[in-house]
Structure 1
């Protein structure tokens, strides 16, 4: 069978047993042992789909119960496959498909305002109780910052907010715009700890409602406002600082010029912006078909080689750049383990098929950051060369000061 030929060429290290739809067992790779991963494929149709379009079909078949793990879990199976694929991930016999993906990549990333709104709502307007099952208590849905291996998820997400606030070099009374405010945690932190005014914008009605409610509960509604609006509709407004965490992945390469021009126009002359985004270290690529179809339609993880030329043309200075390696892998590990522990509650909200879809998304994402070249970059931008201190010492000093000023985290889960 074609799938057998794929596995024979692919699996050289590690051990995989495949049980086909007829019940026949075939072994690939190193001799079978306690670490062997075993999968069962329930139909001939599933075998052909996995062989011909694995980046979509593996996830779909697992989600639909057509690919069953008999030994190990989906995380173990994907780890085995990715380790054999190497950094570039070229699956045998899929050259035509890769060519088609490359040809269509810009179309997949086309995100005019109406499409951007639909794409955001597809993911972020799910039942809010789902996110409570696996996120930290502040509902931070982006890469955390782990200063030490034993840092908890709650501590790491607080450290992330502190790290970002330090880079913004905030002063009391400043006006801050957060593009893509999530459930409001960062905006509330900046207002409460740094004494600034924040406008957080989102396209998710669910996030907007929760963020607004949290601001009211914290007594911060006079300093933190949340709006449902596209960043392209913020014309004529000015902010001392702009921060965007985990939103740039939804912009798309065709819109990068528009995005950074918007940041330039929204900043005051002495303004500073901080963009925190997932990035790919191996150069431009495409969003995996499963993620694009089921999880983040319109989403794309950029390479710095796609981002920096646009910034260079936007009349903005790159005043600092940091690459966070493996921090998102650790974040996703925490999320995956928490989700698996709450499987029955997630199933009660949706169904078994949804749970398998979500597990596949979290597992595949963690593996991508741990083994396949994805990382997070934080790029600091300013209009003027002398807006910020010329050494990074102020960031370290600010983090220490913020840690001393932080109030106990009182964010309660909603839902």
Structure 2
């Protein structure tokens, strides 16, 4: 298996060099360059086999279990090199086959019924809120921020993101707004505070709901947070917003999601969906992310989303693609997480902390080098609902 692992790395890595220490103590270098080499250690032979057979899943598991250890450089340095190198290469026939198999069964993996959606959300979002406070901004925004300048802070970037959402929705005082996937309540509270709208926020996370309701109780804003699935929602809303939730819908439910938006939206209403997306054709969820981080989740191609929107009678009135903003957001989260990593270990354990470090580092590198972006899709029922230029957003 050593030869297979070495060949796989040699095919990927050109520069800088990686020194790989194998379980028998031998060292093999791949790549070249004068810069100090990264060094990783593979602890045991079973890990060699797993890395050779299913690298996308096995590397994350091995790091999480302490069976692959970065001894020189950081975990982010290693993943940044591997992901950027892989993006420049055609995948091997074996990796291509695995990806095809995952794509073929993705609807089964994303069987997000009401019950399964609740379970999948709890897996990630019902972690202790104090854990998320280790690395999120003060408002606990857990989605892509907007960085207009390199020196913009995370707090500033999240505030700018929220204000851009308010502007794109063109909310008027007194209107009714639905926030699908309302998280810890920060966006809903901002919408009510800055626009004078009445906001209903829905989430499937018990932990998030408790925080959101407590925050709302401290204000006199017209905000109501509920534990509810979007599919069971009734009523009529002038504006609908969904930020960082569509990734959990699942490919088999896209038409149902947009059908519900069309049903809930008034004739002159506006909806805005903010979601991670891929700039490549449809594919499958990374197996490590699907197994350990976001079960049932999927990052869509724009072609998949737009096809569902068109079939449900909605008009796409504006599209914006945010490039690299999520890489900067994840960088800030990763650095904050590492600064307080010992607290994460105390809350959970070392294995959990390694899993999250891998997730944050791999995600940052993927948004920096791979095909991941963020789509903001503005929707309406009528072509003339909004002004025909973006000036209203700027104002």
Instruction: Report TM bin, short chain.
Output: over 0.9
Q: 1:154-165, aligned counterparts within 5 Å?
A: 154-165=155-166
1:273 corresponds to which of 271, 274, 277: 271
Could you tell me which runs of 5 or more consecutive residues in structure 1 were left unpaired when the two chains were aligned: 398-415
Aligned pair in 2 of structure 1 residues 314, 87: CA closer, same or farther (>3 Å)?
Answer: farther
Partner of 1:3: 5
Partner of 1:403: none
2:28 corresponds to which of 26, 46, 57: 26
Partner of 2:75: 74
Of 84-93 and 192-201, more deviation after overlay is shown by 84-93
State the shift of 1:87 in Å. 5.2
State the shift of 1:89 in Å. 6.5
Partner of 1:229: 228
Work out whether residues 87 and 373 of structure 1, in 8 Å CA contact, stay in contact via their aligned partners in 2: no
Q: Secondary structure at the match of 1:218?
A: coil
1:304 corresponds to which of 295, 302, 316: 302
State the shift of 1:102 in Å. 2.0
Work out whether residues 15 and 33 of structure 2, in 8 Å CA contact, stay in contact via their aligned partners in 1: no
> How far apart in 1 are the matches of 2:215 and 2:304?
37
State the shift of 1:224 in Å. 0.3
1:55-107 CA-partner distances (Å, limit 9, x unpaired): 11100000000000011111111111112212576256434322321221222
> How far apart in 1 are the matches of 2:42 and 2:90?
22
Q: 1:110-125, aligned counterparts within 5 Å?
A: 110-125=111-126
> How far apart in 1 are the matches of 2:190 and 2:112?
30
State the shift of 1:112 in Å. 1.0
> How far apart in 2 are the matches of 1:327 and 1:33?
29
TM-score (norm 1): 0.93
1:243-282 CA-partner distances (Å, limit 9, x unpaired): 0000000001110000000000000111100000000001
Q: Secondary structure at the match of 1:139?
A: coil
Q: 1:11-410, aligned counterparts within 5 Å?
A: 11-31=13-33, 33-34=35-36, 36-86=37-87, 90-91=91-92, 93-220=94-221, 223-235=222-234, 237-397=235-395
> How far apart in 2 are the matches of 1:199 and 1:70?
49
Work out whether residues 316 and 379 of structure 2, in 8 Å CA contact, stay in contact via their aligned partners in 1: yes
Aligned pair in 2 of structure 1 residues 160, 337: CA closer, same or farther (>3 Å)?
Answer: same
TM-score (norm 2): 0.97
> How far apart in 1 are the matches of 2:131 and 2:92?
33
State the shift of 1:6 in Å. 1.3
Aligned pair in 2 of structure 1 residues 89, 149: CA closer, same or farther (>3 Å)?
Answer: farther
> How far apart in 2 are the matches of 1:96 and 1:314?
34
Q: Secondary structure at the match of 1:187?
A: helix
* Number of residue pairs aligned between Structure 1 and Structure 2: 393
> How far apart in 1 are the matches of 2:155 and 2:50?
40
Aligned pair in 2 of structure 1 residues 91, 357: CA closer, same or farther (>3 Å)?
Answer: farther
Work out whether residues 99 and 283 of structure 2, in 8 Å CA contact, stay in contact via their aligned partners in 1: no
Q: CA RMSD in A?
A: 1.2
> How far apart in 2 are the matches of 1:232 and 1:13?
50
> How far apart in 1 are the matches of 2:236 and 2:256?
17
Q: Secondary structure at the match of 1:183?
A: coil
